[in-house]
Amino acid sequence: MYTGAGAGAAHLSHAPVTALGDALAGLDEAWSGALPSFGVVTGDGDPSVVVEQFSDAGLLAVVGAVGALTRRVETLGAVVAAEVARRSPTGSREGNLARTEGYASPGRLIAASRGGQVGRAAELVKVGQATAARRTLSGEPLPAAHPHVADALHAGRISVDAAQVIIAMLDRVAPRANPLDVETTERLLATQAAQFPLHQVENLVRHAEARLDPDGIAPKEEHQRAARSLTMRQDSQGMFHLRGALDPVTGAPIKTALDAYVAARLRETRGNNYPDTPGTVVSARSAGSAGSGGSNTDEDSSTIETRTIPQLQADALADFARHVLACDTTVPLVPAVTMVVRIELADLEGSLRAGGYATIDGVDQPLSAAAARQLACDAGLIPAVFGGPSLPLDLGRRSRTFTRAQVLALWERDGGCAFCGQTTFVEAHHIAWWHRDRGTTDLTNGVLLCSRCHHLIHRDGWGIKVSETGEVTFTPPRVVDPDQVPRPAAPNPRRLGAQPTTPPSRPPDRDDTRRPPDRDDTTRPPDRDDARRPPAGPGRTTPRAERTSPATDERRRE
């Protein structure tokens, strides 16, 4: 908006550069604070020599400051890239800035200036155009095509990459979705993208697209199913090579079975994920004694499992094949497996007013309602009304292990590992330990965690709290964060619409439970791997379709 040529206008005209300067000043401050107090070796200008002298806390502070500066630079790059594209209209030779400078397209001009790839330059152009202010033919100002993303991007709260993912999805569904729903979803995603790393944002976007445009899932599934394939060849050394691409409906049972096989082996090896306890069972079959993974059943073996997860999965596939070929024994160490499909009752029944999409526990890609109905054809359907007389969810001290009903309820609440968002090898664990703290086996004392996060929390002494509404928060130890600011749990994509629209107290960037400050914007946490947004609480009557074998209580130990 034009505001004249006064001092205020001059200040606003330099606001983007001022923001860059503030971010650069933050980096300079973090850099200075990271240096040792004396005896700095400069290395004749080699930055790696200087950086290796940083303390851990100082290095992480610099990482956060570099991230803040990078977001500002990339955002400004998108703005100027969009302007270059505006001055280089397609099909015009005269008045085409890119052609005048000797480039075939604005993307090539921008890529040459950056020393980068044309594809990346094209992404900058798209983000810049979608977040730029517009004008009518009469010159009246209009908001950007995606104003919520534009606000977050220009404030330095989200990256260009996150903005591009959100914008691309919204543009795809806009012709078929309700404009009010699109606007609400954009606002929610822009808020979430300021709090979570890109891979979590991508997962949220996939579910948001399914919610906005459920009719668009089915055509994609038809294409995916037509493209499914699996080939197997043997090379000159005798090794077999498998190469395949499976659609979600075909691949989900395979993934569920493989995950159950691997989790059972790891659980046996690690003593049911109950570390540092006297009498913990740590014996398991070694790679050598197990051979292909299914021939040795000696429970007294004292060797530790040494196979990697890919090796365990390869052995699992061989065991499954042997079982199909009339093996005398069942597949070892694999509990009865349930594949849980979550879908609203109206969607399952085919209501015209229904949104029409479903999810599978442990699988990120949403499914169409039609695919869920196909899976439900030969499955037992159990409404997710946990807590009736036959399914008690609060067991107190009567049972150490969480029941299957409790685990399913925790999946409905947490959507995966509550700490990092992972959906593979996730188990229910006691917040207050069963032995040490006399903890109860209740939902308010339970949380879903993957093995890595479980050990990290116990090792470093993180606190976990669950509110009455099912909101999970993690409190870091003082050695990680002296202020002990609670950090939100991973986002549950099924509950995107129920997520709070205002960000919580700022959790820092960390992959190793540390806290680099974001000097660019105190309300925006940088991308992180472990601090997440709290999911909504359990509840609602969502039926789930169960396949493969009858559900049994999955014994989860703490």
Q: What proportion of the chain, given as a percentage, has pLDDT over 90?
A: 27
Report how far apart the first and last C-alpha atoms of the chain are (Å, whole number).
59
User: Given a cut of 50, is residue 297 above it in pLDDT?
Assistant: no
Min mean pLDDT across 182-186, 238-242, 341-345, 494-498 is at: 494-498
Q: How far apart are CA 558 and CA 133, in angstroms?
A: 54
Whether 147 has a pLDDT exceeding 90, the answer reads yes
Position with higher pLDDT, 228 vs 470: 228
Residue of higher predicted confidence among 515 and 478: 478
Mean pLDDT across 525-552: 38
pLDDT given at position 171: 93
In this prediction, residue 492 carries a pLDDT of 83
Lowest mean pLDDT among 280-289, 311-320, 486-495: 280-289
Q: How far apart are CA 86 and CA 97, in angstroms?
A: 9
User: So what's the pLDDT on residue 137?
Assistant: 84
Closest to 530 measured CA to CA, from 449, 459, 465: 449
What was the pLDDT predicted at 336? 58
Phi and psi, residue 49, nearest 5°: -65, -40
The C-alpha atoms of residue 344 and residue 355 are separated, in whole angstroms, by: 9
pLDDT digits 0-9 by tens, 172-222: 999 888 899 999 999 999 999 998 889 889 989 988 888 888 777 778 888
pLDDT of residue 154: 94
Q: Taking Cα atoms as reference points, which of 162, 172, 235, 234 lies closest to residue 201?
A: 162
Q: Which is it for strands 463-466 and 472-475: parallel, antiparallel or unpaired? A: antiparallel
Secondary structure element (H or E) that encloses residue 464, with its range: strand 463-466
pLDDT value at residue 497: 57
Quick one: 393 exposed, middle or buried, by C-beta within 10 A (0-12, 13-18, 19+)?
buried
Distance CA 49, CA 53 (A): 7
Reply yes or no on whether the pLDDT at 396 is more than 70: no
Q: Return the SS3 of 231.
A: strand
